[in-house]
Amino acid sequence: MANEIVRLNYVSRRNIVEITPFNLVTGSYQGMFKYQGIPSSASFITAILANRIDAEDLVRSAIAKGRLSEDTLNDTSYLNRVESLMNGLDKN
């Protein structure tokens, strides 16, 4: 039974195409996650500035769409990079 669970867990992870922090933020801006509730374009930047969305929201959206594994929520380096990229959007 335990071997079967490990095998299934491995198979499900293998099918996920991981998205980089940069592609996560730019894809979100372009509307990639609109069906997960993430606004696009100027509304995306406004939501960031108003603290209505954060890095965890983007990661959760990518998980829901099968672009990241759930383990990414525990990856502080990944989350910090996403947060940094999000904060840089209003400066461009």
pLDDT at 26 (0 to 100)? 96
Q: pLDDT tens for residues 24-37?
A: 999 999 999 999 99
The pLDDT-based confidence of 15 (bands split at 50, 70, 90) is low
Is residue 64's pLDDT more than 70?
Answer: yes
Query: Which range of residues forms the domain containing residue 20?
Result: 2-91
- Residue 10: predicted pLDDT: 45
Average pLDDT, the chain: 86
State both tokens at 62. 């990518």
What is the count of structural domains for the chain? 1
Q: What pTM did the predictor assign?
A: 0.81
Cα separation, 69 vs 17, in Å, equals 9
Strands (E), the chain: none
